[in-house]
Amino acid sequence: MHSFNLQLLYFLILITFLSGAIVSLILSKNNRLGNIISNILYSIASLTGIITSIYFLLSDKTRIILLHINSNIPFLSFKLEMGKLSAYFILTLSILTLCVSIYSISYLSQYYGKRNTGGFNFLLGIFIVSLILVFSSGNMIVFLLAWEIMSLSSYFLVIFESELPATQKAGTIYLVMTHIATAFLTIAFLTIYAYSGSFDIANAAALIPTTVKNIIFICLVLGFGTKAGIIPLHIWLPYAHPAAPSNVSALMSGIMIKTSVFGLIQFVFVVLGGGYDWWGITLVILGSVSAVLGVAYAFMEIDIKRLLAYSSIENTGIILIGIGLSVYGYSRGNSILSSLALIAALIHLLNHSLFKGALFLGAGSVYYSTHSKNMEKLGGLIKKMPYTALFFLIACLSISSMPFFNGFISEWFTLQALFQSIGVSPQGFKLIAILAAAALALSGALAAACFVKTFGISFLGLPRSTEAQNSKEAPATMLIGSGILTLLCVVLGLFPKIALTLLNKLSYSVVHNSVVPDLKGFSSFVYYPIGLETNKISPMFILVAAIVLVGIVFCLFKLIGRGSKQRTYSTWDCGFRELNPRMQYSATGFSKPLRIIFRAIYRPSRELQTEEGTSPYYPKSMKYVVLTQSVFEKYLYIPLTHLFTSFSKKVRSSVQTGSVHTYLLYIFIAIIAMLIYYRFS
């Protein structure tokens, strides 16, 4: 396939997405027809994107120019290009968009006649196009333009149900935080331009002094970190994802927050030349903290979508650990470590898009059927929604890093990269790598417990509400969308060679080396690097040892219980006639042990609400509520908000005098200052 054909396919993808968006507007009065046609067009465009991306990743081409338009404005041009990294992210986007589009055909039917689904699908199409433009931007002007379109279109998608106060709050927080991110990115890009003289995304490391590079890196971390939702810049994410419709939440969590990962890799490696040791150390520390605290906060939630939003912070942290190790290895000239860590991060990025997309779509199916996101009002759904329960269970196993599912692969590679870094690093970084490995193990254990709670409370036991009791299985297209994602979770868990093959040439294009040829194995449990001096852990040995141990325990139980007889009894019900939903474990009760252990973080409080009856001993009702605080919101964001608000009021009272003469003086001072700056710069 020639470059011309790739260009043709690329623009065919964009045109098809835009056609779907326009059709949805034209047919906005016929909600059903517009929704079906637009999502069919989105599915076709996504399939084209999958084929195009896979071909380019396997081809020998490193980069092709898709479009380059020079304008009459000095230093301003419009440039689109595709590299291996761009193709990988477009592939991830296309897979997720295909499943979301199929899912949306039935999911949006609940809004027919109630909301403008034509406008929704139009914004969805623009949102997807903006993501593609971010991934294929050839200069910083295009990147910022696409970034801003992505932010604004996703804002309007988040506030789709705008009459709800919680949705309005979520939209406001998201809009403020995303523009703070844009401000830091703009500072970084303008600084790069000031030293390189170009807005092109190309290597400018030799032209930028070390101190300035460090400032640019800090701005990039603050800008991209805010969009990625790393702690403590995560404040918008637990509000925006639950407020948005579930198909939008799947795209935002599955791929939108990954634009920050794309940007970090693109600018740190390509533009800044790889960076320094402390850059990698910073990313590893931020990733470790985000991984542990993200899943710790997720464990406390009873809102299923808010739980999934916090879980996205955890998985972004795991990706950041991989990128940080890759930067550290690259800066020290260890190409094996750099390549292994980059591959670990990128595999987890794809895996997270698959299982988190499946989880958000599953949560959407639950809400579609029960009209509730509160796990305390669910239960027993496995009998009412068996296929949804099966797909949700597979996604839970994947995100919990269970062996033979795709989540295990990427976390295993990340651990391998940490083990490798421990053996080749100085003492200072050894300690950081050991703590990061411990954080990764802890986050994995907490994630498993978290999703045991999520699946068990939501799908097992007895229904806790009338809505759960009367729930029905989701429509076919919703099941197909979720089913494809969960199938891919299993396929990539059993056959990781598929993803590794796609990443081989990508690794060469970023860090100039690839460890893919040095990996051995045939399935998830036995893929590990060979030839790495510090890597003494054989997954095959672990697998065989585990099988032997299970066999020994099984034989011991059989031997001990050889003389016992099997009896069948009813479940003990504490003397009551029959079990009822109030006797079951609640989501709040399930998470109490961890709430006690981490009470310094959660700051739990209890509230007992009593409605008086005929006597204090016989109240009509009692409501017991356990609350946890957001430490970062209470002690960081609320004080900062009050500080800026009071400062702004003082400045406004002194600056906005209402006098025209004063405003003319401001203009005069600004012009003089600009003339002096340009005279001496």
Q: What average pLDDT score do residues 187-213 get?
A: 87
Please name the helix (run of DSSP H) or strand (run of DSSP E) that holds residue 226, with its range, or none.
helix 210-228
Q: Which amino acid is at 390?
A: L
Q: What's residue 535's pLDDT?
A: 45
Whether residues 597 and 513 fall in one domain: no
Q: What average pLDDT score do residues 321-336 get?
A: 91
Residue 403 resides in a domain: yes
Residue 248 resides in a domain: no
Residue 466 resides in a domain: yes
Whether residues 439 and 426 fall in one domain: yes
Residue 287 resides in a domain: yes
Whether residues 466 and 492 fall in one domain: yes
Whether residues 363 and 501 fall in one domain: yes
Whether residues 602 and 635 fall in one domain: no
User: Residue 252: is its pLDDT beyond 50?
Assistant: yes
Strand, coil or helix: what is 610?
A: strand
Contacts 24+ apart (CB under 8 A), 18-24: 18/125, 18/129, 20/45, 20/121, 20/125, 21/121, 21/122, 21/123, 21/124, 21/125, 21/126, 21/129, 22/122, 24/117, 24/118, 24/119, 24/120, 24/121, 24/122, 24/125
Q: What's residue 93's pLDDT?
A: 96
User: Residue 653: is its pLDDT beyond 90?
Assistant: no
Q: What's residue 200's pLDDT?
A: 84
Q: Predicted confidence band at 532 (pLDDT cuts at 50, 70, 90)?
A: very low
Output 136 or 423, whichever has higher pLDDT: 136
Domains of the chain: total: 3
Q: What average pLDDT score do residues 289-309 get?
A: 90
Q: What average pLDDT score do residues 243-270 get?
A: 92
Do 81 and 63 touch, CB atoms closer than 8 A? yes
User: Residue 87: is its pLDDT beyond 90?
Assistant: yes
489-514 pLDDT, tens per residue?
999 988 888 888 889 889 988 988 88
The chain-wide mean pLDDT, for the chain, equals 86
Q: What is the pTM of this model?
A: 0.88
Whether residues 614 and 661 fall in one domain: no
445-468 pLDDT, tens per residue?
999 999 999 999 889 888 888 888
406-458 pLDDT, tens per residue?
888 888 889 888 988 887 777 778 889 999 999 999 999 999 999 999 999 88
Output 354 or 575, whichever has higher pLDDT: 354
User: Residue 105: is its pLDDT beyond 60?
Assistant: yes
Q: What's residue 18's pLDDT?
A: 94
Q: What's residue 168's pLDDT?
A: 87
Whether residues 504 and 401 fall in one domain: yes
625-636 pLDDT, tens per residue?
777 777 777 778
Whether residues 504 and 613 fall in one domain: no
Residue 358 resides in a domain: yes
Q: Phi, psi at residue 572, to the nearest 5°?
A: -65, 125
Per the structure, the complete domain to which residue 482 belongs is given by 276-557
Whether residues 311 and 391 fall in one domain: yes
Residue 237 resides in a domain: no
Do 343 and 513 touch, CB atoms closer than 8 A? no
Q: What's residue 4's pLDDT?
A: 62
Output 168 or 131, whichever has higher pLDDT: 131
172-199 pLDDT, tens per residue?
899 999 999 999 999 999 999 888 888 8
Whether residues 537 and 436 fall in one domain: yes
Q: Predicted confidence band at 255 (pLDDT cuts at 50, 70, 90)?
A: very high
Q: Predicted confidence band at 2 (pLDDT cuts at 50, 70, 90)?
A: low
Residues 390-404 as b or e (16 or more Cβ within 10 Å = b): bbbbbbbbbbbbbbe
24-82 pLDDT, tens per residue?
999 888 889 999 999 999 999 999 999 999 999 998 888 888 888 887 665 677 889 99
Q: What average pLDDT score do residues 265-290 get?
A: 91
Sign of CA dihedral 170, 288, 359, 135: positive
Residue 88 resides in a domain: no
Q: Predicted confidence band at 533 (pLDDT cuts at 50, 70, 90)?
A: very low
Strand, coil or helix: what is 77?
A: strand
Whether residues 475 and 607 fall in one domain: no
Q: What's residue 575's pLDDT?
A: 64
Longest dimension (CA), the chain: 101
Residue 149 resides in a domain: no
Q: Predicted confidence band at 543 (pLDDT cuts at 50, 70, 90)?
A: low
Please name the helix (run of DSSP H) or strand (run of DSSP E) that holds residue 617, with its range, or none.
none
Whether residues 461 and 598 fall in one domain: no
